[in-house]
Structure formats: C-alpha cells, structure tokens
Amino acid sequence: MLTSPPNFAAVSQFFGDSIRGTAEINFGSVGLGMTLGVILGLIPIPLPGGTALRLGLAGGPLVVGLILGHREHTGPFTWVIPLSANLALRQIGLVLFQAGVGTRAGFGFVETVHTSGVGMILAGGLITTGVALASLFVGHRLLKRPFESVLGLTCAIHTEPASLAFASHISRSGAPQSSYAQVFPVCTVAKIVLAQVAGGVAIGERRDN
C-alpha cells in the first residue's frame, strides 16, 4: 500500500498495521482442519477383494487442506495461514520430518547393508537418479518448461521436501515451490491409493488361489 505521509494514520486505522496480526496463527482453525483431515483419512473405502482403501494420516489432512485452502474462510474460521508463519512452519516441519525419518530409518539402513550389501543401496540410488534425470530432461527439454519449475516438479514426484529446500536455495526464486505445490498433492494421494489398490489385488489373488 502506497500513500503520502499525512495519510498514514487514516490508512492504519482503516486497514490496520499490526505486525502481530500478520504472523499469528488461528489455532482453532488449524485444529479443526487437522481433525477433519484425520477423520477423512480414517474413513474406509471398500475395494474389490474384501479390502478397504484409507487415505491415512498423510492423505486425509492433505485433501482437507486443499479444500479449505481453496475456500480461504468459512464464517468465523480463517483457513489461510499468514505467510511469515507459513514459512516458519515449513522450516520447523522439514527439520522434524528429517529427524523422524533419520531416527526411524537408521536401524533399517544398517540392517539392509548387513543383509543385502551395497548392491541394494546402489540399486536404489540408480533408480532415484534415473527418475530424477528423466523428469528434468522431459520437463525442460521436451515440454520446454523453465528449469526452476521442473526442479520443483521433480521434487514433488519423489514427494521429497528436503530436495525442494535445496532446489529453492539454488534457484533463488519461488518457482520450485510453486510447481511443487501443484504436483505434490496428486503424487502423494496417488502413491497412497496405488499402494493399497495393488495390495488389495494381491490379497484377492491369493484368496482365489
């Protein structure tokens, strides 16, 4: 907002100029949204073979967040988180996510090295690198998308927020985060659904046999 100095008082009175107001989070809205997301994630959707599909604690809150973010507000509830608070939560969430993954995967990683050797690690690295390089080549060379946007898209395909932080750092722009936000929900929900559908089909085939 641009105005001359004599109008500062009137503009501040009309719009407000509280720094606190631009950083505070409405915990009631956040709590209600998370509760709705958990409930949605626990609802079973029947699948052929007697199994049920659930979005889980990852897919349910994600879908509800997309819906509420699109609405922005409902009556007294505001679903949009201020930008400064949003950025802070992203960084805290990334740190907690990496700490949780490392703590949980540490023993399994050592066990994999002992049982499967370096071959399993190399195979995983080759598959991950191949998918990333193919995504970058197709997106940038064939589809003619800006490289910064393709970086975010590739991170979303892997559903990997740590890679997004690196991509945002080297690109010095918000393009990776924008493309990541567009693709990440689809990839996350697709992985949850496809894994459970494949599992349901496999269980059904076993029962038939």
Pair (127, 209) in one structural domain:
yes
Pair (71, 88) in one structural domain:
no
For residue 204, the enclosing domain spans: 118-209
- Please report, rounded to a whole number, the percentage of residues in the chain having pLDDT higher than 70: 87
d(CA 137, CA 158): 16
Pair (129, 108) in one structural domain:
no
Residue at which a domain ends, from 49, 77, 105 = 77
Contact of 31 with 185, CB cutoff 8 Å:
no
Pair (109, 126) in one structural domain:
no
pLDDT for 137 equals: 93
Domain membership flag for residue 69: yes
Confidence of residue 86 (pLDDT cuts 50, 70, 90): confident
Nearest 5°: the CA angle 95, 190, 170 is 40
Domain membership flag for residue 16: no
Domain membership flag for residue 54: yes
Lowest-pLDDT range of 12-21, 73-82, 145-154, 169-178 = 12-21
Domain count of the chain? Answer: 3
Confidence of residue 204 (pLDDT cuts 50, 70, 90): low
Pair (72, 149) in one structural domain:
no
Pair (58, 109) in one structural domain:
no
Phi and psi at residue 105, in whole multiples of 5°?
Answer: -90, -10
Can you give the chain as a three-state secondary structure string? CCCCHHHHHHHHHHHCCCCHHHCCCCHHHHHHHHHHHHHHHHCCEECCCCCEECCHHHHHHHHHHHHHHHHCEECCEECCCCHHHHHHHHHHHHHHHHHHHHHHHHHHHHHHHHHHCHHHHHHHHHHHHHHHHHHHHHHHHHCCCCHHHHHHHHHHHCCCHHHHHHHHHHHCCCHHHHHHHHHHHHHHHHHHHHHHHHHHHHHHHHHHC
Domain membership flag for residue 31: yes
Domain membership flag for residue 47: yes
Residue at which a domain ends, from 116, 142, 170 = 116
Q: Is the pTM of this model over 0.85?
A: no
Q: Indicate whether 178 pLDDT > 80.
A: yes
Pair (129, 203) in one structural domain:
yes
Read off the pLDDT of each residue in 68-84 and give the average, rounded to a whole number: 82
Q: Indicate whether 123 pLDDT > 80.
A: yes
Residue 140: how many CA atoms within 13 Å on its side-chain side? 15
Pair (100, 184) in one structural domain:
no
Pair (138, 200) in one structural domain:
yes
* pLDDT, mean over the chain: 81
Domain membership flag for residue 13: no
How does pLDDT run across 96-114, given as a tens digit for each residue? 877 877 787 777 777 777 7
Domain membership flag for residue 19: no
Domain membership flag for residue 15: no
d(CA 40, CA 55): 7
Read off the pLDDT of each residue in 50-73 and give the average, rounded to a whole number: 85
Q: Indicate whether 116 pLDDT > 80.
A: no
